[in-house]
Amino acid sequence: MKSANGLVFFVLLVSTVCPSDSATATTTSSYLSDADRSRLKKVFAGALDYKDLLSVHYSVLGYKLLGEAVPKQQDICKTLLAAASSTSATPETLYYVTNAWRSVGTCAGNLPAASIAKTLTSVVEKDTSTVPELFYAVQALTNVGQKKVDAGKLIKILQAALKKDDSLLNLGYSFHIAAQLGTDGTFAFDRIEDAIVQADEVDSRFLQFEGGLSITALLVSGAYKLADTVNKPPPITGDQAVKFANYFLSRRSVQTPKGAYSLLEVLQTLTNNKFHLPVAITLASPAAVSLEQPRVSVRVSNLLGKPLSPVPLTVTAESATRLGDEVVVLSKKKFEPSTEDKTVYSVNLMELKPERGLYKLTVSAALAKPDPRLVGNVGASLTVKVMCAVGVENVEVGTVDADQTTQAKMSKVAYPKKLATTIEADSLQKLIMKFSLKDKNTGKPMTVHQAFVKLQNEKTKQEIIFVAEPDSSRTYKFDMDVGSKAAEFGHLSGPYSLELIVGDAVLSNSFSWQVATVNLKFADQAPSASSVKDPYLYTLKPEIQHLFREPERRPPVFVSNLFTGLVAVPLLLLLALWAKLGVNISNFPFSLPAVGFHLGLGGIFALFGIFWLQLNMFQTIKYLLGIGIVTFLCGNKMLAKIASERRNR
């Protein structure tokens, strides 16, 4: 059995302080990676196989956000043109059609822009239009180049609709409508704060609105677009921006085209707005360092995994604190930028010769010229594991008498060699081994989580594993009383391989080392069948069969006959009285039930006689069951007939 070197690494991101806000902000926990983008592309590709206009719309827009070419463009254009030409097209349908048509950009022919504009203008000017209808109409008019609408009338209709229903969904739509109106959209800016205060905070790291990803993305992107239009900072703090970003990135596994589009669109907005720029600081290397791999690499990027600026950042390891005892081993250490990737920075952590264990690395990033938009870029906390290489020293193995009256016979062996001679150990001795483990990084003695001694029979491959325990000086000791452990080995004497197994979560060179061969001799071995003088002792015994109780001895024949005669006296007396009084044979009903009943009754009496002579109880019950059923049925029929004849007299 060999210890595995595989380790599970993890990244922990915790709270940081945002320099542009007085409130404490969390760091952005991740970013949209290339693998995430590929998965979202598959979501959009799958939706294009359907004729559903909604899915096609979001898939086409999703391809555009990913910067990918839209497949099956002419088929899509035909679907869009057919939907636009339908007489039953709604504002929502026209919004999907014009949005997708504009995103494809290469469709042959033209949409019926005049009829579309006429339909949508009537919606914008109708007092009873709902907020979603107004949103679809305004956006679709913009898509077909009809940007001129009566802003004053539109605002009045929109405000009236919001008085009736100012749900989060309607507020989100109103922000996007107002963003299309330029400075006239200021009327909706004050409602952003009303919406943001309704966000739910989860685990002090996420902010979201009831309704999930789509509504949250609609509100957040609308708020930033409206703020950009009116040129005012949105009533969203840097702390809130980071928590919204954390929520969106936690939904990277979304599987619907609408959700995937909403995710990409809002991440683009959070990355490209002029008010907040959430920064993602994550590990770019395995979360473990060792002498072989001494550098820790971090990635500093925006939410889309791109560099924050064309010039390198100043990335600083504020501190490295060992978990458990809170010892700080590093402070204000600068990271070096990578020449291959502008988002990656690294630092040599092992040059400080830290002790093995888990460390909390606090990282901050800043531009040469401070940018107030940056949020979540200070105090990002990453967990790093410092690995060490273990060395084994002062290895001694040998035997000593169980009563320890004599000096132990020990042999030294150096790792990774095997002891040349075979160790002999009988049932009156103890097998002992001593060794020390040293941290090669620091040269100090160390203990590990796993230190086992394995004894394996070289013939049967049976193995038994014992635990080696360290003493106060961190010297590991193993001793085994051969006689007392005989039963665990099955009393199987012979050569055994002695192996030392050392492993730990922070070891980079866990190992299994065959130290020596030990010849164990056990006393009182269990005898084998071939060596026993009486082989019958270990053979199958005859099967035990159940026997009935033997019948008791019968009385003498004279006594039996006399008793039988005495029993028969009442019967003889009955027959004598019948002869004297006379028997009314003529009144006997000669029918099948009557004959059957009397024959059955006679048969029962005869069966009792035979039972007395030779049958056992079980045989008698078996026969009685058959005769008794016939007698009962015949008797019941006979008595019923007699009763009927008496009633008819």
Mean pLDDT throughout 109-118?
85
Backbone angles phi, psi at 570, to 5 degrees: -60, -35
The answer to whether 481 and 401 are in contact (CB under 8 A) is no
What average pLDDT does the segment 275-282 reach? 94
Instruction: Average the pLDDT over 115-124 and give the result.
Output: 88
Residues sharing a CB contact under 8 Å with residue 477, sequence separation 6 or more, in sequence order: 432, 433, 434, 468, 469, 470, 471
CA distance linking residue 556 with residue 461, whole number of Å? 74
Chain mean pLDDT for the chain: 86
Give the pLDDT confidence score for residue 452 in this predicted structure.
Answer: 96
Residue 21 has pLDDT above 80, yes or no: no
pTM, rounded to two decimals: 0.69
Mean pLDDT, range 192-199, rounded to an integer: 94
Section 507-526 average pLDDT: 87
Average pLDDT estimate for 621-625: 91
Residue tagged 């004729």 (tokens): 51
Please report, for residues 93, 95, 124, 127, the alpha-carbon distance to residue 130 in angstroms, rounded to integers and kept in the order given: 15, 15, 10, 9
Chain segment 169-195, per-residue pLDDT in tens: 999 999 999 999 888 889 999 899 999
| Distance, CA of 155 to CA of 240 (rounded, Å) | 29
Model confidence band, residue 466 (pLDDT cutoffs 50, 70, 90): very high
The more confidently predicted of residues 545 and 20 is: 545
User: For residue 19, is pLDDT > 50?
Assistant: no
Integer Cα distance of 178 and 134 in angstroms: 11
Q: Look at strands 380-386 and 288-289 and give their pairing.
A: parallel
